[in-house]
Amino acid sequence: MFTFGMTGDIHGFDPLVLLLVAMIVEAYIGEARFVFDRIKHPVALIGGLVEFLENKLNREKRSTMDRAVRGFLMTLFVAGLCGAVGWAVAWVSLNHTFGWMLELILLATLMAQRALYDRVRDVAGALDEDGLDVARGTVAHIIGRDVRQLDEHGVARGAIESCAENFCDGVVAPVFWYVLFGFPGLLVYKAVNTLDSMIGHRTPRYQAFGMAAARIDDILNWIPARLSGLFIALAALFAGSASPSGAFKVMLRDAGKHRSLNAGWPEGAMAGALGLALAGPRRYSHGVVDDSWIGGGRARATSKDIRRALYLYAVACLINGMWVAAIGIIRLNLD
């Protein structure tokens, strides 16, 4: 693993130690909104760059091939720039006495364990206390579909699906790529994931221009998505109301039914563990997506099911941290 080759300087900490500390810090403080109300979040900076370049390069008058090539070059440029910044941060961390503090702060900032938990929990709270209209507005912050016609079960399913899918994007994948390639690997992943979320849509404007970003994002999430499903299924072992066998069964059987190459794995594990049916037909601003259901359980999810999903998610986050700790122990013993 390439991260292990970046620990030779006396000024720096072992990257796995920094990663574990960052995961603990982020789990405690969450999004640190009090900070990012005043300065831009790193992902927001990447998003601003993507928006600027997309407006300059993605013109409707250009041919499909021209737009696809421009989108590919833009994706390489943004990912490459973020990789260079990542290398600079890693170098500072290893070559200056307090440089590790910069990497630690950025690591905690780019994790989303607590942030995702809080946003999904807010949906359950809104359903229980504030009514359907408020719950629709709350879930709109974490799902991309048209929420105006969702009933309470649709809102609950959307929150659970977001919890499962973003467990991969916001937790497992960043950790995975950091373990392999250090901070540069993490920042390149966040760049590609941001590109995919902004331009990787199957709409007339982005079908060609965002194709490269979407495909690269699929590649980078291929292993983390399957790890995410595995961690959720293992987490079901520690939840009395969840089914580990159901999680494995549905994940293996239904993951391929999802329109996304990767999202079906954590969603399938979550659906099977909780005895739910997730995904299915969904309405977006550009029209209705008539997808298959994942899982053979009930579609009438409730706020109670959201809280059950959050319990599984929290345990799965612990399992995600445990594999990093295990690798660290192995590395320590080898040294």
Question: Who contacts 308 (Cβ-Cβ below 8 Å, separation ≥6)?
Answer: 239, 241, 242, 274
Contact 175, 324 (CB under 8 A): yes
Residue 156 within any structural domain of the chain: yes
Count up the domains in the chain and report the number: 1
Residue 4 gets the label, from left (phi > 0), alpha (psi -120 to 50) or beta, of alpha
Residue 112 within any structural domain of the chain: yes
pLDDT of 259 = 87
pLDDT of 319 = 97
**Residue-range definition of the domain harbouring residue 58:** 7-334
Percent of the chain residues past pLDDT 70, beyond the cut: 93
Q: 244-284: per-residue pLDDT in tens?
A: 999 999 999 999 998 889 999 999 999 999 999 998 887 76
Residue 174 within any structural domain of the chain: yes
Contact 324, 1 (CB under 8 A): no
As a whole number, the mean pLDDT across the chain is 90
Tokens encoding 6:
């970046």
pLDDT of 335 = 63
Residue 45 within any structural domain of the chain: yes
Buried b (16+ CB within 10 A) or exposed e, 166-181: bbbbbbbbbbbbbbeb
Averaged pLDDT, 69-74? 96
Q: What is the pTM of this model?
A: 0.92
Averaged pLDDT, 180-197? 96
Q: How far apart are CA 268 and CA 261, in angstroms?
A: 12
Residue 1 within any structural domain of the chain: no
Beta bridge partners of 298: 276
Q: CB burial class (10 A; 0-12, 13-18, 19+) of residue 285?
A: exposed
Residue 2 within any structural domain of the chain: no
Instruction: Mean pLDDT check: name the lowest of 24-38, 91-105, 146-160, 219-233.
Output: 24-38
Q: How far apart are CA 287 and CA 297, in angstroms?
A: 26
Q: How far apart are CA 114 and CA 130, in angstroms?
A: 22
Measured CA angle at 215 (ends 280, 276), to 5 deg: 20
Q: For the chain, how many helices (H) and strands (E)?
A: 13, 4
